[in-house]
Structure 1
Amino acid sequence: MRSIYLPRTADALAFAMSTYGIPLLVLATTRSAALTGAAFALEWIPRLAAFGWAGSIVDRCGASAVFFRASLGRALALAAGAVLLHLHPSGTVATATVMVLAATTGVLTEFSYIAAETAGAAAGRRAGTRAHRVQAVLLGIDQTATMTGPALAGLLLLAGPSQMLAVITVLSLLAALLALRTPPSTVAGAHVPKDAKSAGLITGWLTIRSLPALGWLVTGLTLSNLAIGLLQAAGPVIVVEYFGQSTTAVGLVWSAAAAATLLAVTICRFAIDRLGLWPVGAACAALASLACLAAAQAPNYLSYLVLVAVLMAAEGGMTVVLRTLRSRLIPPEQFGSTLSATILILLLPFPVAGVLTALTPPDALGHVIAACAALQALGLFCAFHRLRTDPALRT
């Protein structure tokens, strides 16, 4: 609890509030769908660039040291942003500040996330055949943070941007202090060579290629993430501009989705005990595909909220399967590098979704989401059809 779960809780809540709060802040300030999509892309592109370094540095320096430094750096960046927004609440300075914060917090958050995942995977390996239970708890923490983070960010935004950023700063400082309790995964202070970024990604990519079960599941979930990323990026535009709701209603959508995911993760934890990984994963894949196709045609806000919640709940079940496979199959000495490569592949669709949102007229967003949902369904079907007899999911 003190060494794994509590640090993860504080970091996940800061992650959720910054990820969903900054695009909301852009929309509230500019009322521009294009800038909202651009901010979403700006959040994710630097995160993707950080993964090559993050995995190698965690493998060499240890999870605790990286977690502490990344969380502390994020707290300092957010504190500076809060001061600037208090002095310049609108205009060019405010817009530039928010955009820089999106990029900076994105990079630092990925370092802390890789470190936390590495520590969680070590705990899963110690749990042996009950590794999926540890991963279910970690995913439950993430989803609880996602449930409360967007709604809290939306409420704090009503009080002012500085207040929202100040709360995220406090959470980041708390995560940094709690990270000192995280057991070191390697010898701290190891030298990181100049080619650590490329070497880490190459090592991770080769490891994924050597594990077919992991590769197929990552491929299916990557295509699924394109549809989910588009729903996230276009969410403020759909809810505020199309359904006529407030910015708080945007946070409510993802809070409801996180609550449904938390329930689904709990159910999947026991379902995997009785049925195994593949049946649970395949059922979640089918449910996610149907929900995403229906969400593209949602006639009103309530139906949109319910369908997004069902989609994310099913995605949560597939994530439990993925995390269990990662902790079971990836060699411990290569875990950080392989985890970085895995997450990099999974997150590549998110900046693409931001660009699509920025380039697509609001009236055509439904058609683009429907096309991505069809691609999601095809990708998940192919992945789980290929994995139906794989021993890694049948054990």
Structure 2
Amino acid sequence: MRPSVRARHERRPVPGRLVRGVYLPRGADAGAFSLATYGIPLLVLATTGSAALTGLAFAMEWIPRLAVVTVAGTLVDRYGPALVFRLTCTLRALVVLAAAVVLPAQTGGTEMTVMVLAAASGALNQFSYVAAETTGTDASRRAGGRAHRVQSVLLGVDQTALLAGPALAGLLVQQTGSTGLLTACAALSLLAAVLMPPRTAEPIAAASNVAKAEHARGLRAGWSVLRERPALAWLVGGLVVSNLSLGLVQATTPVIVVQQLGHSTGSVGLIWSAAAVASLLAVVLCRAVISRWGLWLTGAVSATVAAGACLAVAQATTYSAYVVLVAVFMAGEGGLTVVLRTLRSHLIPAPVFGATLALTILLLLAPFPLAGLLVAALPPAQLIHALGVCAVVQALALAVTFARLRTLPGLRPAHP
């Protein structure tokens, strides 16, 4: 009996340690991440009134994220996720607090300030995300057979931030301007840094030269996997094209809703919160659909929903229609994400999973800064037409992708 009592005693503190050391820091960071991601483009639009600068700010958030993905991974491997997370969150708090002080006092040159803010927050968000993901993975590994429970809680934390963040960002920009938004983001960042225990996992790679060599081999391995797994390559290729439409919807929505539909910045945030609800419901539904009807049918239906809704978004003339159509569009995108994650888990060999995953993330995120640059380059009146063109290209790309996938064996192992 003694060992069993001892085992129960050892297990009892684990949930508390997970809440204190993983879930709470993750929640605070996800809140700051969401506020910055959705709030800064709204802040740019409210501050400058320029659709071009709003699109440029969107691009300036995403370009640094792509640039620092591999650097963030290397630093996390070398120094451990806890240290990187705490330093990153502290730096983000200092950056946004500085912007909160400078912006209201500026009489000119606010454009440069918000662009620097967008770039700095984008890069720091990526560092904190990689560190938080590593911490969550380490907790899942230690949980053993309870790993799925840890991941489900982490997914719930992220989805809660995604639901609340955009709406709160819109309301803060509308009611308090830059001061309220940036102060809230700084407070959540500092809270995340304080909540993260000093040490949650040992560094994986102690020598930077070894890490760099492994990284270089990993990138080549990732490309090799895509070449050897045509089903995965086709799906990633189709989703890269589809993500250009997704990025354009995200980048143009503040301009369309505020300047063309005549609604407030708070209304923009509510759109993304509604879209997050629709996406979450689609994810839950698709898990059951995949088990019964398989990956290909689930993906084809999701692609049809996403492409059709995106085409309709380009024709929306009222706010209520825009809200519903964007929510349906994001539901379709959520279904495609489930299909991609499932196919990835089936087809990527375990020894090179991390490298291939990183490569697919880079490919899938690449269209987002391009979407921001398109918004910056086009006149506001042409944005809705550009969205229509991208929607047509998306529909064609997804149709070709799933027609090709129908003949490939990769989507057959669909039943868990």
TM over 0.5: yes
TM-score by length of 1: 0.87
Asked if 1:148 is matched to 2:168, the reply is: no
Structure 1 residue identity aligned to 2:265:
T
* 1:230 alignment partner in structure 2: 248
Structure 1 residues 239, 351: closer, same or farther in 2, change over 3 A? same
* 2:113 alignment partner in structure 1: 97
> What's the CA shift for 1:385?
3.1
Matches within 5 A, 1:122-133: none
Q: How far apart, CA to CA, are the structure 1 residues paired with 2:145 and 2:232?
A: 18
* 1:362 alignment partner in structure 2: 380
> What's the CA shift for 1:341?
2.0
Structure 1 residues 211, 124: closer, same or farther in 2, change over 3 A? farther
Structure 1 residues 332, 252: closer, same or farther in 2, change over 3 A? same
Matches within 5 A, 1:5-84: 5-84=23-102
Structure 1 residues 264, 386: closer, same or farther in 2, change over 3 A? same
**What does the per-residue CA deviation read over 1:176-204, in whole Å, with 9 as the maximum and x for residues that have no partner?**
34443885375364435695676664454
Higher relative contact order (CA 8 A, sep 6+): 1
Matched position secondary structure for 1:184: coil
Residues 55 and 337 in structure 1, CA contact (< 8 A), matched pair in contact too: no
* 1:109 alignment partner in structure 2: 125
* 1:278 alignment partner in structure 2: 296
Structure 1 residues 270, 360: closer, same or farther in 2, change over 3 A? same
Asked if 1:162 is matched to 2:182, the reply is: no
Residues 164 and 273 in structure 2, CA contact (< 8 A), matched pair in contact too: yes
Q: Which moves more between the two structures, 228-237 or 50-59?
A: 50-59
Structure 2 residue identity aligned to 1:15:
F
Count of aligned pairs: 393
Residues 294 and 412 in structure 2, CA contact (< 8 A), matched pair in contact too: no
Percent identity for Structure 1 against Structure 2: 56
Structure 1 residue identity aligned to 2:69:
F
Asked if 1:394 is matched to 2:411, the reply is: no
Structure 1 residues 325, 53: closer, same or farther in 2, change over 3 A? farther
Q: Which moves more between the two structures, 254-263 or 195-204?
A: 195-204
* 2:13 alignment partner in structure 1: none
Residues 282 and 331 in structure 2, CA contact (< 8 A), matched pair in contact too: yes
1:290 to 305, 308, 325: 308
Matched position secondary structure for 2:247: helix
**What does the per-residue CA deviation read over 1:104-149, in whole Å, with 9 as the maximum and x for residues that have no partner?**
1111211222333445566778999999987666555433322211
Structure 1 residue identity aligned to 2:340:
L
Q: How far apart, CA to CA, are the structure 1 residues paired with 2:263 and 2:277?
A: 21
Matched position secondary structure for 1:218: helix
1:385 to 379, 403, 411: 403
Residues 58 and 336 in structure 1, CA contact (< 8 A), matched pair in contact too: no
> What's the CA shift for 1:273?
3.8
Matches within 5 A, 1:204-219: 204-219=222-237
Structure 1 residues 281, 130: closer, same or farther in 2, change over 3 A? farther
Structure 1 residues 212, 71: closer, same or farther in 2, change over 3 A? farther
Structure 1 residues 198, 187: closer, same or farther in 2, change over 3 A? closer
Structure 1 residues 226, 174: closer, same or farther in 2, change over 3 A? same
Q: How far apart, CA to CA, are the structure 2 residues paired with 1:37 and 1:299?
A: 21
Q: How far apart, CA to CA, are the structure 1 residues paired with 2:326 and 2:72?
A: 31
Structure 1 residue identity aligned to 2:396:
L
- Please list every run of 5 or more consecutive structure 1 residues that lacks an aligned counterpart in the other structure: none
Asked if 1:191 is matched to 2:208, the reply is: yes
* 2:197 alignment partner in structure 1: 180
Residues 52 and 341 in structure 1, CA contact (< 8 A), matched pair in contact too: no
Residues 143 and 261 in structure 1, CA contact (< 8 A), matched pair in contact too: no
Structure ID, larger Rg: 2
Structure 2 residue identity aligned to 1:144:
T
> What's the CA shift for 1:59?
4.5
* 1:348 alignment partner in structure 2: 366
Structure 1 residues 265, 179: closer, same or farther in 2, change over 3 A? farther
Matched position secondary structure for 2:370: helix
Residues 221 and 346 in structure 1, CA contact (< 8 A), matched pair in contact too: yes
Structure 1 residues 29, 117: closer, same or farther in 2, change over 3 A? same
Matched position secondary structure for 2:208: coil
> What's the CA shift for 1:243?
0.7
Q: How far apart, CA to CA, are the structure 2 residues paired with 1:60 and 1:392?
A: 39
**What does the per-residue CA deviation read over 1:293-321, in whole Å, with 9 as the maximum and x for residues that have no partner?**
11111121110110001111121122223
Structure 2 residue identity aligned to 1:170:
A
TM-score by length of 2: 0.83
1:339 to 341, 345, 357: 357
User: What do you get for the CA RMSD once the two structures are aligned?
Assistant: 3.2
